[in-house]
Amino acid sequence: MKELSLLLKKFFGYTSFRPLQAEIIRHILLKKDALVLMPTGGGKSICFQLPAIYLPGTAVVISPLIALMKDQVEGLVSNGIPAAALNSSQSEEERQQIKQLCIQGKIKLLYISPERLMAETDYLLSRLDLSLIAVDEAHCISQWGHDFRPEYTQLAILKERFPQVPIMALTATADKITRTDIIEQLRLRDPKVFISSFDRPNLSLTVLPGLGGREKSKAIIQFIRARHGQSGIIYCLSRKTTENLAERLSAAGIDASAYHAGMPAELREKAQNDFINDRIKVVCATIAFGMGIDKSNVRWVIHYNMPKCIEGYYQEIGRAGRDGLKSEALLFYNYADVITLRKFAEESGQSEINLEKLQRMQRYCESDVCRRRILLNYFNEEVEHDCGNCDVCLHPPRRFDGTVLVQKALSAVVRTGQQVGMQTVIDILRGSYRNEILSKGYNLLKTYGAGKDVSYREWHEYLHQMLQLGYLEIDYAHANTLKVTPLGNKVLFEGQKATLAVVRPQEKETAPGKASKGGKIRPRAGSSAEETLADALRQLRSRIARKEGVPPYLIFNDQSLSEMVAQRPVSLDEFGRISGVGDRKRERYGPVFVELIRFVLHLPEK
């Protein structure tokens, strides 16, 4: 194990293993099969990369996405590890060259797409000295998983052809059926299943209910401005919204690109590359974006609309903070989304399951218990404590006697003959002059204007609470109109008391500064010495990245940079102690980085 720790520092610059990494590596070195479940950013790659370096021969890594392969290979090569990729986008000549290198034993890790693998099993694989086989994104093999790829189902032949080579299957998707499916289809022999915690304590969780479209854009602009220089993704439900929002942000002076599957391939690729290379900081995207993006310094993820299930949501927010630094997930929750998503679910062909999943997601948004506990419970993890890093923990709900408010709302619903939806009820309560209100004579109702003193947003949230508390329900079959329940009638007619939670002020959630705790790199120039140094280091990193044609985070990630700011290494030895600095990077980049740090600190040149 000591030797492996040394290799970890030498090649990757890390001083210790993350939870489970060491156990998994030990297991695979005993030539045994394994299934590894770790959340995105948990550190799966090291689990096969390190044994691949340690063992004689070549490790084959099956990976579904060319972009992901490219990133991993570049990362390995930049750390001085001989690695290559074979996929169908290369020319025959290129492939021949790589194959020759493999056969000569000059490549420690060979990344290969499943299609290519099938073509190469007979000729190439049987000529290699195989150390291990890693199947990345292994959930793609299962029809139960959310990303089924038919090519993956042929991988069963690996065990038949190479029974003595250990197979490691890796995924970030946890559910039980998928797990069993992976083990069966890959014919794993008595595999040990390693499940690491799905907790991502560095990710703060916030749900902001009740904002309409325009208010959301305003809140987002404010949010981004308070986080100068940070990269983030905004997930939207529709293609149109990604475009509109990107335009609105651009008009507000924020560089943002749209991304969705309906865009021409070149534009999509450009948006993705610009984002990876820090040329634009913000992408407004549908969920088509993100798979295969390994960018470690995404600082925040916003959901402009509620996602359709918790698995998807967790995977999407997992794209923030892969480097372990503080990051934020913000979700805008709104009943209009629930209605749209319900419709999708009902039409999906698997309506029962999908409606159930949607309901779990909705309960998450509406919950007033620790949000992280809900998520981890969903993934069958036991949690004993509240997390202290979600909006519920940070601003526990305060309650008040809301009987009068509830009575006003229910009364408005009853007086329309229970024929209207949420927006109209609020308009009646607030005494709106909207045409529809006047033409239907709602301005003559006794409750018209009875709730003027409460803002639109607050009413919106109180009505949500009334739905959750069971005073009201939505009649989905009849144009989503609101109906008073028997319990509601008790409050309305029998004097039963109703308790509501105070609506939290909006500014709190998006307050600037909250995010800047905890050693983050803040690039605003001209302020403290620390920021000057951070800024200079980032610029140097970008310059090198441009010159080498790789994304900046492959040179050093944000974690390494913030350690440089904190430790201020002024010699190569000190530089080598920074996390993420292995031998290769110390030699290659150490001199320029140290020189820059000495310069910024006004130390004499060496």
In the complex with ligand ADP, which residue's Cβ is closer, 44 or 522? 44
Contacts of 52 (CB under 8 A, 6+ apart): 58, 59, 108, 109, 131, 132, 134
Q: Which of 20, 43, 231, 258 binds ligand ADP (CB under 6 A)?
A: 43
State both tokens at 138: 């292994």
Binding mask 542-581 for ligand ADP (x = CB under 6 A): ---------------x---------------------x--
Interface pick for ligand ADP out of 14, 48, 275, 314 (rule CB under 6 A): 14
Nearer to ligand ADP, 292 or 397 (CB): 292
Find tokens 């320029």 and name the residue. 592
Asked whether 198 and 381 are in contact (CB, 8 A), the reply is yes
Q: Which is nearer to ligand ADP, 319 or 460 (CB)?
A: 319
Pairing of strands 481-484, 472-475: antiparallel
State which residue, 390 or 521, has the beta carbon closest to Zn ion.
Answer: 390
Which of these ranges, 16-24, 304-312, 360-368, 465-473, lies near ligand ADP under the rule CB under 6 A? 16-24
Q: Near ligand ADP by CB under 6 A, which window of 40-48, 201-209, 250-258, 354-362?
A: 40-48
Residue from the set 179, 200, 260, 322 that interacts with ligand ADP by CB under 6 A: 322
Amino acid at position 155, single letter:
L
Of 10-18, 446-454, 460-468, 538-546, the segment contacting ligand ADP by CB under 6 A is 10-18
Give 265's Cβ-side CA count (13 Å radius). Answer: 0
CB atoms within 10 A of CB 322: 26
Cβ closest to ligand ADP, residue 44 vs residue 116: 44
Contact partner, 393, from Zn ion, ligand ADP, none, Cβ < 5-8 Å per class: Zn ion
Please report whether residue 11 would count as binding ligand ADP according to CB under 6 A.
no
**With CB cut-offs between 5 and 8 Å by kind, which of Zn ion, ligand ADP, none does residue 131 bind?**
none
Q: Does 41 bind ligand ADP (CB under 6 A)?
A: yes
Q: How far apart are CA 306 and CA 341, in angstroms?
A: 9
Give 36's strand partners: 170, 194
Total residues at interface with ligand ADP (CB under 6 A): 18
Binding window for ligand ADP (CB under 6 A); candidates: 22-30, 37-45, 215-223, 270-278: 37-45
CB of 316 to ligand ADP, least distance (A): 13
Cβ distance to Zn ion smaller for residue 339 or 369: 369
Q: Mind spelling out the 3-state secondary structure of 79-90?
A: CCCCEEEECCCC
CB 364, min distance to Zn ion, A: 12
Min dist. Cβ of residue 548 to ligand ADP (A): 18
Question: What is the smallest separation between the CB atom of 196 and ligand ADP, expressed in angstroms?
Answer: 9
Rounded distance, CA 601 to CA 564, Å?
12
Rounded distance between C-alpha atoms, residue 512 and residue 483, angstroms? 40
Q: Shortest gap between Cβ of 520 and ligand ADP (angstroms)?
A: 16
- Tell me which residue has tokens 């990630």: 557
Residue 43: phi and psi, rounded to 5, are 105, 45
Q: How far apart are the C-alpha atoms of 342 and 358, rounded to whole Å?
A: 7
- The minimum distance between CB 128 and ligand ADP, in angstroms, equals 24
Bridge partners, residue 303, by sequence: 235, 331
Using alpha carbons only, how large is the chain's radius of gyration in Å? 27
Tokens of 288: 């088509």
- Judged by CB under 5 A, how many residues of this single chain contact Zn ion? 6
| Smallest gap from residue 39 Cβ to ligand ADP (A) | 7
Residue among 41 and 210 whose Cβ is closer to ligand ADP: 41
Which partner from the list Zn ion, ligand ADP, none does 223 bind, CB cut-off 5 to 8 Å by kind?
none
Residues in the chain: 606
Residue 42 lies near ligand ADP (rule: CB under 6 A): yes
Q: What angle do CA 263, 265, 269 make, to 5 degrees?
A: 105
Question: Residue 155 — φ and ψ, nearest 5°?
Answer: -70, -10
Cβ at position 389, least distance to Zn ion in Å: 6
Residue 40 binds which entry of ligand ADP, Zn ion, none, CB below 5-8 Å type-dependent: ligand ADP
Residue-wise DSSP of 506-531: HHHHH-TTGGG-SS-----TTS-HHH
CA distance 386 to 420: 39
| Upper half-sphere CA count for residue 520 (Cβ side, 13 Å) | 24
Residues 579-598 that bind ligand ADP (CB under 6 A): 579
Query: Which residues, at least 6 apart from 165, have a Cβ–Cβ distance to it below 8 Å?
Result: 130, 131, 132, 133, 158
Residue 139: count of CB within 10 angstroms of its CB: 24
Report what 387 binds from ligand ADP, Zn ion, none; CB cut-off 5-8 Å by kind.
Zn ion
* Biggest CA pair distance of the chain: 88
Q: Does 323 bind ligand ADP (CB under 6 A)?
A: yes
Q: How far is the CB of 12 from ligand ADP (least distance, A)?
A: 7
Are 136 and 186 spatial neighbours (Cβ–Cβ below 8 Å)? no
Is residue 64 close enough to count as binding ligand ADP by CB under 6 A? Answer: no
**Residue of the chain from 22, 24, 45, 564 that contacts ligand ADP (CB under 6 A):** 45
Q: Which helix (H) or strand (E) holds 220?
A: helix 213-225
Regarding 295 and contact with ligand ADP (CB under 6 A), the answer is no
| Residue closer to Zn ion (CB basis): 58 or 389 | 389
Exactly one of 38, 271, 387, 437 binds ligand ADP (CB under 6 A); that residue is 38
Among residue numbers 340 through 399, which ones bind Zn ion (CB under 5 A)? 370, 372, 386-387, 390, 393
Cβ neighbours around 423 below 10 Å, total? 18
Find which of ligand ADP, Zn ion, none residue 370 binds, CB within 5 to 8 Å per kind. Zn ion
Q: Which of Zn ion, ligand ADP, none is residue 390 near (CB under 5 to 8 Å by kind)?
A: Zn ion
255 phi, psi to nearest 5 deg: -70, 115
Figure out which of the listed residues 40, 173, 315, 562 binds ligand ADP, where binding follows CB under 6 A.
Answer: 40
Pairing of strands 34-37, 167-171: parallel
Both tokens assigned to 467: 């739905």
Q: How far is the CB of 382 from Zn ion (least distance, A)?
A: 15
Whose structure tokens read 């044609």? 549
Kindly state the smallest distance separating residue 15's Cβ from ligand ADP, in Å: 7
Residues of the shown chain interacting with Zn ion in the complex, contacts defined by CB under 5 A? 370, 372, 386-387, 390, 393
Chain residues that interact with ligand ADP, rule: CB under 6 A: 14, 17-18, 21, 38, 40-46, 294, 296, 322-323, 557, 579
